[in-house]
Each structure stands twice: as structure tokens, then as C-alpha cells.
Amino acid sequence: MRCQPVCPPHSPTDLSELLAAGTKEVHEKAENTQFVKDFLRGRIRKELFKLGDVALYYTYEAMEEEIERNKDHPDFSPLYFPELNRRDALSRDLDYFYGEDWRERVSCSPATQRYVERIHQVGQEEPVLLVAHAYTRYMGDLSGGQVLKKVAQRALKLPSTGEGVYFYQFDGIHSAKAFKQLYRSRMNELELDMATKDRLVAEAVLAFQFNMEVRKGKGRER
């Protein structure tokens, strides 16, 4: 009887695989927060939903400012997709919920401000780490956006024409699945050593933690 060679366990080197594996635990934790559970069950208070949009606006304003600043940087340029931008969509949602003077009526919470400051820091000092923040936010938006949109429309009795949930609509992306595949392939083409990839995984974990802190903050503001 011949002994069959034992194949060593697969050790991912692609950035997309490393990010998926490295954030699996914190991703599951984020998905199981009370806020997310309540949201998916349609238990959404309108004021809390509005505060969520405010936090998202400040987050995407910072991220898209840094993405624009670094759109030609070799460590980020392959991931420059303006069709992902969410700031203007969120602005329209806030117009709907608060009125055109919403900027005078809302403020950035302390938890959101910490997240915003970190995004600006990496964008200005280490643009490669911006990849982790873009990956965490945009891939999540594309993955669950349509489900969350329908839940919000039903629970909050929002118009079927899109007002209040423009954030979840990606008009320039026809197939979320195909776009996510493209995005991951572009990430994998970045010329990065393993040490940098490990730092990106750590930064993505941090991004998830920032998002959870923002959600906790909204819960305290109820």
C-alpha cells in the first residue's frame, strides 16, 4: 500500500482572501450586534435610522476626500471607482429626512469623529491602509445593501421611489456580484509584501471596530 502525500493546508496569499479570513470573527460580531439584529427584523426607529445616515455621511465624506486625494497613488489607484461614492446619495437622504438645512441641524458624534480622524490619518500618512477602509465599507454596502433597503422602506414606510434610501442604490453598478469580483481582483493585483498585507488586515479589523463603536453610540443617543 502506497502512502499518499499529505497536502499542506492552504495558506492564502491573495489580499482578498487574507482580508476575508482575518476579519471573519469581527465581521460576525458586527453582524450580531443588537442594532443589526433589530434592523433586519424591521425594528427600526426613524430617529435612530436618521442618526445612522448622519454618521455614514461624515464617514464617507472623509473616506471619499482621502480616496480622491490618493486616486493616483500606486497603492490605491487600481481601486479608484467613483461609481462607489456614497456621499452625494447620503446628502440626498439627509435632505429628505431633515430638510435642505440639514447641515445646520446635525453634528458628528464623538465615535464617528474618531473614525473620521483615523480615515484622514491613513489617507494622509499611509494611503495603502485606505484600502482596508474602502474594502470594509464598500464591499459591505454592495453585499447587503438591497436587503437593508427593502427592510428600511417597509419598516419606515418610505416611498418606493427611493427617497430616504438613496444610500443603498448604486446606479452606476449593474451587477453587485460582478463588481465585487472585479474589486477583489484589483486588490489582489496590488504589489504588496506580506507584512503590508498583514497590516491591512489589522486595519480592516480596526475599521469594523470603529463601525461597531458608531452603532453603540447611536444606541446611547436613543
Mark the binding-site residues, compressed into ranges.
Answer: 27, 135, 184
Annotated binding site for heme b: 27, 135, 184
The DSSP 8-state label assigned to residue 129 in this structure reads: G
DSSP tag of 85: -
Contact between 34 and 43 (Cβ < 8 Å): no
State the SS3 of 3-38: CCCCCCCCCCCCHHHHHHHHCHHHHHHHHCCHHHHH
Q: Are the C-beta atoms of residues 9 and 192 closer than 8 Å to each other?
A: no
Spatial distance between the Cα atoms of 110 and 13, rounded to a whole number of angstroms: 36
Listed in sequence order, the residues at least 6 apart from 165 whose beta carbon sits closer than 8 Å to its beta carbon are: 93, 149, 152, 153, 158
